[in-house]
Amino acid sequence: MKLEIQTQALEQVRADALLVLVAEGNVLGALAGLNRLTGGSLAAALEYSGFAGRRDKTLSVYPSGKIGAPRVIVVGMGNPDSGPFSAEHNRLHAIRRAAAAGVREAQAQKVKHVGVLVPWGDPQIWKDARGAALQAVAEGAVLGAYRYTTYKSAETPGIEAVDVIIDRGARKSRDAAAAIERGRVVAEATCLTRDLVNGPPNEVNPVTLADLCRKMAKSHGLKFTVWGPEELEKQRMGAILGVGRGSRVPTQVIILEHRPARAAKTFAFCGKGVTFDSGGLSLKPADSMETMKGDMSGAAAVVGALQTAAALKVPHRVLGVIGAVENMTGGAALKPGEVLRARNGKTIEVRNTDAEGRLLLADILSWAAEQNPDMIIDLATLTGAARIAMGSHTAAVMGNDDAWIGAVIRAGAAAGERIWQLPLWEEFLDAMKGEITDLKNTGGRNGGAQKAAAFLGEFVGGRPWVHLDIAPVAYIEQSEGLAPHLPRGATGFGVRTLVNLLTE
Ligand code: BES
Ligand code: MN
Ligand code: ZN
């Protein structure tokens, strides 16, 4: 999608549709200038329709008068001051969400070219943080236009171009263009993450995921390393090898590295990349297996974040470490009762082969910790328990470093991604201690998300570490979670949070 800044007067703007985002309450006031150009026809339409600017609601009008677009789509932001974040982040999210709702509606009307009117002179909402507001418009536009159409035979093309129209006063500054570009880059990366997660498991497997990472690394100037089973033996990664033993596709550990000349900090982003989770011999029931192509959402978010880190030339060293594996059944498959040895030497008794995410993370977290990063963050669709606890809007965060946990929560809020902390008491670790081994991979159902996190904490070598359980938010099947910037299927959760963590 092409995204550009326009400073033309509204009479001159040529577009198939003009989007205007308005807060609930003073809709007419916010649209006064535009209404004048339409000779009052906009106000008439608003009055007859009863449109009040409620969140996600749109009103399409075909006004007469002196504007260059045949149709205006008014989009409600609701009350931009209410929401789950701080005042500033609530407003930015209202803009992001409304831009997505408007673009989605325009796309449904087969519009090719839209203009988004940013009325600097009008509501307070635009004035506080102009760059951030423009970035939110760009993010919303790209995220709202997203569809996964790879396997649809009759695909209708979507929106091709979005012009962000900066109305009187604001000159076409370099900052404005940079903000739009930042939003486009991070949202396009989120769409790459969505494509990877939505990609069916016969297309996206450990080897093809590694191939895609190799190509992406090459085009974006990232260093790329991949280890197959032989090398993983040498690397003493016995836990991930155990998980992959039942699959015909060889297990891969993929390392992407962004390395600027003078790096301020080193971040390690670790992703669970189970390209299909059947549960293994502790087989999942059919219903639970239906969406398990999405069990590589953490890995996919790491890919999107590394692509963005390179594109934005962030001043930190970033390691993306992905454990890519299929969890399958079969004669060679991992058996309950087996003992595995992870890279850091700890032994694990496998009680349930469906608790595989923590096994592969044990190896890649151990490796990441050895690189002495300033912080480690892992993203994993780790537990059903996190979904039960959080619902489908909020990721669970735990870790060993409250300062970094706070930074991650704030980075999420700035991105419009909700993250909430669960406690990691030492009793949760007690539950994971093994009878014949150092650890076992299950410790009872209650507090399952915290027990899984406590297990992971044994593999970070005491480095500052944050764990994001994204099982609640990575994949939306039911209508309950639907918002205009979140399509059904993969959400791409985590990309924007990770990028904000690098750029705040
Ligand atoms: N990938 C699943 C967790 C999951 C469930 C993600 C639903 C997304 C939606 C994970 O590998 C798993 O199976 N976890 C088990 C752990 C249990 C066996 C201790 C779970 O949560 O049931
Ligand atoms: Mn599982
Ligand atoms: Zn899993």
Q: What is the CATH number of the domain that holds 80?
A: 3.40.220.10
Q: End of a domain among 170, 204, 233?
A: 170
CA distances, 441 to each of 156, 258, 312, 351, 450 (Å): 47, 33, 39, 6, 13
Best probe residue, ligand 1, of 240, 284, 354, 477 (max atoms within 8 Å of C-beta): 354
Distance between Cα 373 and ligand 1 center (Å): 28
* Residues 263, 159 within the same domain: no
Q: For 148-172, write each residue's pLDDT tens digit.
A: 999 999 888 899 999 998 865 555 5
* Residues 214, 166 within the same domain: no
Q: How far is 448 from 245, CA to CA, in rounded Å? A: 25
* Residues 275, 397 within the same domain: yes
Burial class (CB in 10 A: 0-12, 13-18, 19+), 124: exposed
**b/e 374-401 (16+ beta carbons within 10 angstroms → b):** ebbbbbbbbbbbbbebbebbbbbbbbbb
CB-ligand 1 contact for 381 (6 Å cutoff) = yes
CB-ligand 1 contact for 163 (6 Å cutoff) = no
Distance between Cα 273 and ligand 3 center (Å): 9
- Mean pLDDT in residue range 126-141: 84
* Residues 313, 234 within the same domain: yes
Token digits of residue 387: 């979904």
* Residues 156, 199 within the same domain: no
- Mean pLDDT in residue range 181-196: 98
- Ligand 1 atom nearest residue 442's Cα: 19
* Residues 312, 370 within the same domain: yes
Those residues whose C-beta lies under 8 Å from the C-beta of residue 172, and which sit 6 or more positions away, are 5, 7, 166
CA-nearest of 400, 221, 405, 253 to 325 is 253
CB-ligand 1 contact for 450 (6 Å cutoff) = no
Q: How many domains does the chain have?
A: 2
Q: For 334-353, write each residue's pLDDT tens digit.
A: 999 999 999 999 999 999 99
Q: For 424-435, write each residue's pLDDT tens digit.
A: 999 999 999 999
Q: What is the CATH number of the domain that holds 331?
A: 3.40.630.10
Q: For 279-306, write each residue's pLDDT tens digit.
A: 999 999 999 999 999 999 999 999 999 9
- pLDDT score of 167: 64
Query: Which residue intervals of 255-400 are DSSP H helices?
Result: 286-289, 297-311, 357-370, 384-390
Residue 480: pLDDT band with limits 50, 70, 90: low
CB-ligand 1 contact for 354 (6 Å cutoff) = yes
Q: For 357-409, write each residue's pLDDT tens digit.
A: 999 999 999 999 999 999 999 999 999 999 999 999 999 999 999 999 999 99
Is the confidence at residue 242, as pLDDT, over 80?
yes
Does a structural domain hold residue 178?
A: no
Residue 254: pLDDT band with limits 50, 70, 90: very high
CA distances, 449 to each of 141, 422, 469 (Å): 34, 9, 8
Does a structural domain hold residue 183?
A: no
End-to-end CA distance of the chain: 26
CB-ligand 1 contact for 38 (6 Å cutoff) = no
Q: Domain range holding 14?
A: 2-170
Those residues whose C-beta lies under 8 Å from the C-beta of residue 216, and which sit 6 or more positions away, are 192, 222, 256, 303, 306, 307
Residue 221 CB: number of other CB atoms within 10 A?
Answer: 11
Best probe residue, ligand 1, of 287, 383, 432 (max atoms within 8 Å of C-beta): 383
Question: Which pTM does this prediction carry?
Answer: 0.97
Q: For 62-115, write each residue's pLDDT tens digit.
A: 998 888 899 999 999 999 989 999 999 999 999 999 999 999 999 999 999 999
Strands 58-61 and 72-76: antiparallel
Strands 489-490 and 475-476: antiparallel
Distance between Cα 12 and ligand 3 center (Å): 54
Active site residues: 284, 358
What are the phi and psi torsion angles at 418 (to 5°)?
-85, 130
- Mean pLDDT in residue range 428-446: 98
Q: Is 333 helix (H, G, I), strand (E, B) or coil?
A: coil
Distance between Cα 383 and ligand 1 center (Å): 4
Does a structural domain hold residue 179?
A: no
* Residues 333, 474 within the same domain: yes
Those residues whose C-beta lies under 8 Å from the C-beta of residue 74, and which sit 6 or more positions away, are 20, 22, 27, 31, 46, 51, 53, 58, 59, 60, 61
Does a structural domain hold residue 79?
A: yes
* Residues 147, 272 within the same domain: no
* Residues 196, 152 within the same domain: no
Q: How far is 391 from 393, CA to CA, in rounded Å? A: 6
Using an 8 Å Cβ cutoff, are 116 and 104 in contact?
A: no
Q: End of a domain among 110, 135, 170?
A: 170
What are the phi and psi torsion angles at 492 (to 5°)?
75, 20
Does a structural domain hold residue 439?
A: yes
Is the confidence at residue 12, as pLDDT, over 90?
no
Q: End of a domain among 138, 170, 202?
A: 170
Q: What share of the chain is helix, strand, coil (3-state, %, to 5)?
A: 40, 20, 40
With vertex at residue 23, the alpha carbon angle to CA 6 and CA 60, rounded to the nearest 5 degrees, is 65
* Residues 206, 159 within the same domain: no
Does a structural domain hold residue 180?
A: no
Using an 8 Å Cβ cutoff, are 20 and 33 in contact?
A: no
Does a structural domain hold residue 83?
A: yes
Residues 261, 265, 266, 272, CA torsion sign: negative
Does a structural domain hold residue 184?
A: no
Distance between Cα 362 and ligand 3 center (Å): 14
- Mean pLDDT in residue range 482-502: 94
* Residues 13, 115 within the same domain: yes
* Residues 112, 238 within the same domain: no
Helix (H) or strand (E) holding 272: strand 266-277
Q: How far is 289 from 293, CA to CA, in rounded Å? A: 8
CB-ligand 1 contact for 295 (6 Å cutoff) = yes
